[in-house]
A and B are shown apart, each in its own frame.
Chain A
C-alpha cells in the first residue's frame, strides 16, 4: 500500500516538473518549443482524412425570395385594375405576409445566430454535428480513441495549467499591489498579467494569430471587440494589458477581481451602479482621461454571439468621445466550438467543454483607430465600427439587437412593417381627399 502511494506521489512530481519545464516556462517568456505546432499539424491531417470518409448532411436552407415588400405586392396586384377610390388593398396582399411568416418558421434568420454554427464537416466531437449517424466501425473506433485522448490526457493537463495560471494571477497581482507606486510597479504588473494569461491560454490549448500588431490599442483609448465567449478576454490579454469593465461578482471571480485591482486600476461596478448610466459613463470617462491608465476593453454587443455574425453594438461606449480601437476576433470552428450558449450551459460545463475540445484556434485582427466624426451621432458611429469589424473578420453584419437572445422581439419591428404596408394601401386616399 505504501509503495503504491509513494509511486503515485513520485509520478505526480514528474508530471508537474514536465509541465513546468515544457509548457509553463516557455509560455511565461513568450517563446514556444514547437510541441503545439506539431500537435496541430497532426490534428489537421487526421481531420482531413476523415472528412473524405464521412457522409455529411447540411440542414436545409431556404432560398428567400429577394423581392422587397413593394415589388411583391405590385406583382400580386398586377392582375387587377387599380380602383379609383378607397385605397389600394386586395385580398391577395395577405399572401406576402403569409409567405414571410412561413419562411421565418422554417428558417429563422434571427434565432439562428444564437445557436452554434453548423459545421460542414465533422471533427470527431459529435457536439458540433447534430446528425451523428453510425457510419462504420473504423470510424467509431477512431472516435472512441479521440474521447480517451481528450478526456484522459488533454483535459487533466489543461486543468492543471489553468489552476496554476489563475492562482499565480491572484498571488502575483496581490504581491505587486503591495509595492509603492514606482514606475517599476506598472512594468511588473503588466508582466504578471500577461504571464498569467499566457498560462491560461496554454491551459486551453489556444493558438492565436495576431494580425496588424502596429494598431494595438494605446493608453487612454477604448478597445472594442466582438464577443463570442468569456475566453475572448484571455485571448486579447495574452498580447497586451487592458483594464476590464464589469460587475462585481462574489466567490472566485470576486477574489480574482479584487486581486487584479490591487496592481493596476480596473473599473468594477456594483450591481446597483450599473443601472445609472450617467455614473457609468462618468467613471469610464475619468479612467480614459487619465493618460497613464490602460486602455479599457469593452464588448458592445452585450452578449455572446456564435461567431458567424456581428450584432448591434450598444451605443454607450461610443458616447464617451475618445479614440476607439476596433479588434476583430474569429475562431476557427474546425477544432472546437468556442461559443458560450449561456441559456444552455453553465459556466463550469462550458469550461469543461473547452478543455475537452481538440484545440482553440483563432485569429485576432487589430484595426486602425477610429474617431467619432463631425455630425455623426453615437449610433451611427457604433454602426460604422461594427461594419468595419464584421468586414475584417469575415462575419455577417446584422442589424439585430443582441438582446433578442433573451427578450422577445420589440414591437417597433412589427410597426415598421405595418407602416410600410399602410403607405402602399392608403396612398391614394390622401391624393383623392385633397381638393
Chain B
C-alpha cells in the first residue's frame, strides 16, 4: 500500500495533494470524482498523509464473514456501517449529519451532468426524499439512509479486492 501511496505522490512530499488525485485519468472521468477526492481530505486540510490514506481505503476492504453456531453467515455489523457512513458522507457535503434537498440535487447534478433538465432533476430528488424521509423533516438522516438501504448488498458493491 505504501508503494501505491508513493507512486501517487508525484512531488515526493510524503503527502498527497489535490493535484495528485486530479492527475489520475480514471478518477477525472468519474462523475463524482470530485466528491471521492473530498472524502480523503478531512475537515479543512489540504493534504493527505499516509495513515489517513490507508484509513479511507480500509473502508473498501471486503468484510470477513463470521459464521455463527447455526452455520448461517453474518457480516460484521461495524464494517457495513462504516461503508454506509462513507457513502453518506459523499452526499452530505457540509457534514451536518443530514442530506438536505440541495445536497441531493448537487450529487444528482454531478452524476447526470447536462443530460437531464432541471425539472427532471427536481422530480427525481423529490421522489427519493419522499421514499427515504420517514420523519418528514425534508432531509435524510443517517438512520433513514441506513434503513432505505438495508436490503442492499453493500458489502460486495463497495469493496475493492486487492490481489497480491
Where the two chains meet, the residues of A that have a C-beta atom closer than 8 Å to any C-beta of B are 58-63, 72, 75-76, 79-80, 83, 85-87, 89-106, 108-111, 115, 130-131, 400, 404, 408-409, 413-415, 417-419, 421-423, 425-426, 429
Contact = CB atoms under 8 A, between A and B. Distances in A.
Contacts of B4: 59-60, 106
Contact of B124 (A76, A86, A105, A415): A86
A413 B28 CA distance: 9
A86 B151 contact: no
Nearest to A422: B115
Contact of A425 (B30, B114, B116, B148): B116
A159 B126 CA distance: 72
Interface of B: 3-4, 7-8, 21-33, 36, 57, 60, 86-87, 90-91, 107-108, 111-116, 120, 123-124, 126-128, 131-132, 140, 145, 148-149, 151-154, 157-164
A97 B30 contact: yes
A101 B113 contact: no
Given A90-B128, A417-B31, A58 B157 contact: no
A86 B8 CA distance: 41
Contacts of A100: 26, 30
A91 B132 contact: yes
A330 B60 CA distance: 38
Contacts, number: 173
A62 B163 CA distance: 6
B104 to A, nearest CB: 9
B12 to A, nearest CB: 12
Listed from nearest, the 4 A-B pairs whose CB atoms lie closest are: A104-B26, A110-B25, A79-B151, A418-B113
Contact of B113 (A60, A110, A415): A415
A381 B12 CA distance: 42
Nearest to A79: B151
A56 to B, nearest CB: 12
A60 B162 contact: yes
A87 B32 contact: no
Nearest to B149: A92
Contacts of A83: 127, 131
A104 B27 contact: yes
B36 A98 contact: yes
Contacts of A79: 151-153
8 contacts: A60-B163, A62-B160, A97-B30, A97-B111, A101-B30, A109-B25, A418-B111, A418-B112
A91 B90 contact: no
Given A60-B162, A91-B149, A108-B27, 15 more contacts: A94-B87, A99-B60, A99-B159, A101-B26, A103-B26, A105-B26, A105-B36, A111-B26, A130-B3, A408-B28, A414-B31, A414-B113, A418-B112, A418-B113, A422-B116
B68 to A, nearest CB: 23
Contact of A94 (B8, B32, B126, B160): B32
Contacts of A87: 120, 123-124, 127
Given A80-B151, A89-B108, A417 B128 contact: no
Given A89-B124, A415-B113, A106 B27 contact: no
Contact of B23 (A63, A111, A415, A426): A111
A426 B120 contact: yes
B127 A86 contact: yes
B79 to A, nearest CB: 15
Nearest to B112: A422
Contacts of A60: 4, 162-164
Nearest to B162: A60
A103 B126 CA distance: 31
A38 to B, nearest CB: 38
B29 A413 contact: yes
B29 A91 contact: no
A94 B107 contact: yes
